[in-house]
Amino acid sequence: MQFVKPMLFEEAIEKIGAQTPIGSKLNTEQWREVPLALRENAFFSATIEDARFLQSGKNLLGDFLSGAREKLPNGQTALKAGSRAEFVKQMQEFATARGLGPLDPKDAGGLKDITSQTRLSLIFNTKTTQAKEFGYWKQGQDPDVLDEFPAQRFIREADVTTARAIHQQNEGVVRLKSDLDFWMAMNSPSIGGFGVPWGPWGFNSGMGVEDVDRAEAEALGLISPGEKAQPMERDFNDKLQASAQGLDEDMRAKLREAFGDQVEIDGDAVKWKGTAAPRGTMPAPEPSSIEPVPSTIAQRSSPVSQALQIQIADPKHAARVTKAIALIDRVHDDGVLPKINVDPRTSGDALGTYFSGGRRIAVKPTGPWPELTSIHEVGHLLDHLAIDTPGIFASEKSGLLKAWRTAVKGTEAAQKIFELRRTTRSKFYRYLGTWRELFARSYAQYIAEKTGDTTLLQQLNTIRNGPVTPWRQWQTEDFAPVREAFDKLFEEQGWL
């Protein structure tokens, strides 16, 4: 996956920020021989020795991941690094000014040319993907997430010219997240991987993972009912630490030769010292200073209704669905969404259905609250295709929704659902307690409360006063922190 827009993602930001810029002549294959603990804690690019250049790249990527802003001369603010194109442009200027072009003119414009768009785009894509995938892995170690999704499936996300044999053999395989040996084997340096239990799974692997819920994991015999899912973070950290201990003298000599005073070897401990410039604005060569290219943010004007194509013959039902979508438009934009059909053909007896594969929404004509259901299903759509990475349900583990998840966990309604899920082992309560469903239901209530629409509020009360699932929606006071989390999320997305 590639990221071309800023993303606020705490774990990804920390991943980049914790790395030390390390310059070296080592090529990709030689870097793979460096102990994993050193590689994971280094910000490097094969054959690049200029530590100031690497520090600049690290700074810009940190700004991109964090959505850092700067004040312009006209008093407005803009993103410091708002896109991959801006990263490439600024780094090209910096590399050219420092004379970092290819030694052989025949390499100009290719991967061996650090001033080329091809090489700099590869650096951007690789570093941001590594940080993002680490963030997803880190969030997946949360006990609540592990309890709900203890396993993951190894899937092909993109076709490649030459697939790795071990990836072909294991495509579709489901393993517990705690199966560290399996996941590290899928990313082994021996097959061109990065030696970690998260993606990317090697350059141009085309592979990815998707969460598998407890019900499926239990059915596959991977975990027993009631068994506590085990995180693997500590085990991996132990492996990480062990990789830099007890190194033989030959490896120590290689490290000293390759990195000089950038590496510190003290007894059994090996760590980076680094020689790069401190974190701050992008360091520039003297005497000429290169200013970052100013960024601007286009004003969004993309209402949700623009993406939804109503295909409902019954005029009364069509009017109710159309009204619901119009209420969403009153509250926020959506960024950019693909065209989505809305029709009455739901799955089974469901009141509404979001078909993530076929990209279709259905709302049952005879449902008790079609307006609220319409907004609920749009919530699934935004969760899946509009917030963070398209194609991944952001509610489950995206850093953008960390504050929302925290707010939901603290509500009385959600705690009651979680309790019923644990004590009854009911499939229905397990379903109600998934992050996807909690997001869609809370989003529908958010729109209802923000618009103050009488129909939506009456439908909310019908659910809250019902005899079967009174905890399906929140009381207004209980919901307040969740409403605030949505406000903040949509402000950060630029949708309000």
Q: Which residue has the tokens 């919901």?
A: 479
- Bridge partners (DSSP) of residue 70 are 78
Domain boundary among 247, 263, 297: 297
Q: Does residue 479 sit in the same domain as residue 393?
A: yes
Q: Which region among 8-12, 376-380, 462-466 has the lowest average model confidence (pLDDT)?
A: 8-12
Confidence at 287, pLDDT banded by 50, 70, 90: very low
pLDDT score, position 241: 72
Q: Is the Cβ–Cβ distance between 232 and 141 less than 8 Å? A: yes
pLDDT, tens only, 102-139: 767 788 888 888 889 889 988 888 888 888 788 778 87
pLDDT score, position 468: 59
Share above pLDDT 70 across residues of the chain, in percent, rounded to a whole number: 88
Share above pLDDT 90 across residues of the chain, in percent, rounded to a whole number: 31
pLDDT, tens only, 314-323: 888 999 999 9
Report the DSSP pairing between strands 151-156 and 207-212: antiparallel
The span from the CA of 455 to the CA of 462, in Å, is 11
Q: Which residue has the tokens 């992008």?
A: 282
Q: Does residue 355 sit in the same domain as residue 417?
A: yes
pLDDT score, position 289: 29
Q: Does residue 312 sit in the same domain as residue 417?
A: yes
The span from the CA of 92 to the CA of 100, in Å, is 9
Domain boundary among 255, 276, 297: 297
State the average pLDDT for the chain: 82
Q: Does residue 219 sit in the same domain as residue 261?
A: no
Q: Does residue 168 sit in the same domain as residue 278?
A: no
Q: Does residue 136 sit in the same domain as residue 147?
A: no
The span from the CA of 477 to the CA of 441, in Å, is 16
Domain of residue 289, residue span: 1-141+232-297
Confidence at 383, pLDDT banded by 50, 70, 90: very high
Q: Which residue has the tokens 């993972």?
A: 209
- For residue 135, give the 3-state DSSP assignment: helix
pLDDT score, position 38: 82
Q: Does residue 448 sit in the same domain as residue 342?
A: yes
pLDDT, tens only, 431-484: 889 999 999 999 999 999 999 888 899 899 888 887 657 788 999 999 999 999
Q: Does residue 225 sit in the same domain as residue 318?
A: no
Look at the chain and count its residues. Answer: 496
The span from the CA of 384 to the CA of 317, in Å, is 25
Q: Does residue 207 sit in the same domain as residue 256?
A: no
- Bridge partners (DSSP) of residue 352 are 363
Tokens of 427: 């499939």
Q: Does residue 326 sit in the same domain as residue 365?
A: yes
Mean pLDDT throughout 166-185?
94
Domain boundary among 173, 196, 230: 230
From residue 181, alpha-carbon distances to 196, 232, 433, 450 in Å are 10, 10, 31, 48
Q: Does residue 214 sit in the same domain as residue 237?
A: no
Tally of domains in the chain: 3
- For residue 310, give the 3-state DSSP assignment: strand
78's CB contacts (< 8 A; 6+ apart) are 69, 70, 72, 294, 295, 296, 297
Considering Cα of 443, then 448, then 451, then 452, what sign does the dihedral take?
negative
Q: Does residue 187 sit in the same domain as residue 62?
A: no
Residue 63's φ and ψ, nearest 5 degrees, are -65, -40
Q: Which of 144-148, 358-362, 457-461 has the highest mean pLDDT?
A: 457-461
pLDDT score, position 286: 34
Q: Which of 48, 56, 12 is nearest to 31 (CA)?
A: 48
Mean pLDDT throughout 305-319?
90
The span from the CA of 391 to the CA of 158, in Å, is 13
pLDDT score, position 159: 85
